[in-house]
Each structure stands twice: as structure tokens, then as C-alpha cells.
Amino acid sequence: MKVIFATLVFVPFIGWHVYSAICGMRTDVSESLTASADRTHQPAIFGLRVTHHMLFSVGLAGAFVSVVLELAAATLVWAFAGYMVAYITMVLATVLRIRQRAAQLKR
């Protein structure tokens, strides 16, 4: 029963985020609920959104596997900590790229 519930909860979200990332890469436009980002005009924001979709889908897949395999709580804590480190690093790298590009445009 737990596997069926996990499948019904996690798989649609995993599929949606993977689909959004693939569509963004194919069309060079990443859509979100608030706005869209074009690869040519906003490369850093576009990269952040596509990477976010892929990283979030991997996080959901990890949660799905941990529920199905009934992994220990310590494993979930390590997986969540690894996800947060990767996500924070991605956001900081994007902010630095935006600041560097803004500094180059001012010159």
C-alpha cells in the first residue's frame, strides 16, 4: 500500500519537473508560474530554473526511493542535507554570474 501511495504522490511531480526541464532546453525558454526566462536574454536565470527543475526532480526521486525501500531516518537527513548544499551552491553561483554580467555591462 505504501508503494502505491508513494507512486501516486511522487511520480506525477517528478515527471512534471523533468518535462519542464526538457521543454526548457529544447525551446530555450523556461516557463514558471510567475514568468518566463529566455536563454539569450537571461542566461543565468534560465540556467537556474532548468537546474532547479532537474535538481528538484532528483530530490523527489530520492524521496520516492527512500519511501519505497523504507530507508532509515539518518539516510533521509543526509539526502536532504546534500540536496540543500547543492541548491544553495546553485543559487549563489547564479547570483555571482548575474553580478558579474551586470558589472561587465556597466563598463
Tens-digit pLDDT profile for residues 2-56: 888 888 988 999 999 999 999 999 999 988 777 888 888 888 888 888 888 998 8
Which three-class secondary structure string do you get for 32-64? CCCCEEECCCCHHHHHHHHHHHHHHHHHHHHHH
Are 46 and 24 in contact by the 8 Å Cβ rule? The answer is: yes
What global pTM score does this model have?
A: 0.77
Helix/strand/coil percent split, the chain, to 5: 80, 5, 15
Tell the burial category of 30 from Cβ atoms under 10 Å away from its Cβ (0-12, 13-18, 19+). buried
